[in-house]
Amino acid sequence: MEQALAGLRVVSLAVNLPGPVAARRLLALGAAVVKVEPPAGDPMARYHQGYYRALAAGQEVVTLDLKGEAGRGALAARLEAADLLLTAQRPSALARLGLGWEALHARHPRLCQVAIVGFPAPRQEEAGHDLTYQAAAGLLQPPRLPSTLLADMAGGERAFGAALALLLARQRDGAGRLAEVALSEAVAALAEPHRLGLTTPGALLGGGAPGYALYRAQDGWVAVAALEPHFRERLEAGLGARDAAGLGRAFLGRTALAWQAWGVEQDVPVVALPGA
């Protein structure tokens, strides 16, 4: 699979996180990726230099001022030989650069484009960020901030999948196509178990099943996922308890890593939380 996309050329104008995540996935399958950055650079380089370098590793990084004729000309030459364009700008910003889909497709009819936006049509121009997309999906627990950038990462994966679909469709008729990937929709899809009530507080996977929960150990916490009957029966037999209170008392008897080792021995999903 490492060379599944060998010979394909990708140009990415996307900065920050979702676009670079998708570009890295394409690179891993053998595509050649050119990362075009504005004169000010990619903001991710200021947010976290190490992560920026990891995302851009193996790609050709060039700086172009697309507000000037020279920069737009250099980009046009790149696009002439490209198979896929990744963008993460608002449609109005792309249009000002002469990169609206109709104009782009007229000049490069075989070029495919994945356009990452915040919201689906007709809300593509609205401002947003990972935090607000997660908030709209009902995934926040104030005042705690999210543990990961779920919308951005999910959006990057969706953009990667959309790119593969566009390139596959082009094999049939040779025509380039546009796909819009909305980060708000990407996180909403991942939030479906919560929205449908599967993981809400007290639900089966929200604390309603004693065998699917977090428990304190002597020195930290363990995650227990004995949901299926055969796992639950082994857990209850091994600890001599069936309800949450009894299981909680039992888990206090060993360290978290000791319980993890016990889970491996007994074939029960038990994992020590990092730091235990």
pLDDT for 160? 98
**What amino acid is encoded at 49 in this protein?**
Q
Q: Where does a domain end: 139, 168, 193?
A: 193
The answer to whether the beta carbons of residues 176 and 169 sit under 8 Å apart is no
pLDDT for 177? 98
Indicate the number of domains in the chain: 2
pLDDT for 276? 57
Question: How far is Cα 47 from Cα 31, in angstroms, rounded to an integer?
Answer: 27
Question: How far is Cα 154 from Cα 146, in angstroms, rounded to an integer?
Answer: 14
Could you give the dihedral angle defined by the CA atoms of residues 242, 243, 244 and 249, in that order, rounded to the nearest 10 degrees?
Answer: -60
pLDDT for 275? 80
Domain around 123: 9-193
Catalytic, 129? Answer yes
Give yes or no: residues 128 and 232 share one domain. Answer: no
Residue among 233, 246, 238, 242 nearest 263 (CA): 238
Could you give the dihedral angle defined by the CA atoms of residues 21, 22, 23 and 24, in that order, rounded to the nearest 10 degrees?
Answer: 50
CATH code: domain of residue 185: 3.40.50.10540
Give yes or no: residues 171 and 222 share one domain. Answer: no
Tell me, yes or no, whether 1 lies in a domain.
Answer: no
Q: Which of 152, 173, 230, 267 is catalytic?
A: 152
Q: Tokens 């020195």 map to which residue?
A: 219
For 7, list phi and psi in degrees, rounded to 5: 95, -15
pLDDT for 2? 82
Where does residue 163 rank: exposed (0-12), middle (13-18), buried (19+ CB within 10 A)?
Answer: buried
Mean pLDDT (10-residue bins), the chain, 276 residues:
93 98 98 98 98 98 97 97 98 96 97 98 96 96 96 98 98 97 98 96 96 97 97 97 97 98 98 87
Q: What is the pTM of this model?
A: 0.93
Strand partners, 61: 35
Give yes or no: residues 242 and 262 share one domain. Answer: yes
Give yes or no: residues 189 and 158 share one domain. Answer: yes
Q: Is residue 116 within a helix (H) or strand (E), and if so which, with residue range? A: strand 112-117
Tell me, yes or no, whether 225 lies in a domain.
Answer: yes
Positive or negative: CA dihedral 173, 175, 178, 181? positive
Q: Is residue 265 within a helix (H) or strand (E), and if so which, with residue range? A: helix 256-266
pLDDT for 189? 97
Q: Which of 129, 194, 219, 230 is catalytic?
A: 129
The answer to whether the beta carbons of residues 181 and 160 sit under 8 Å apart is no
The answer to whether the beta carbons of residues 85 and 79 sit under 8 Å apart is yes
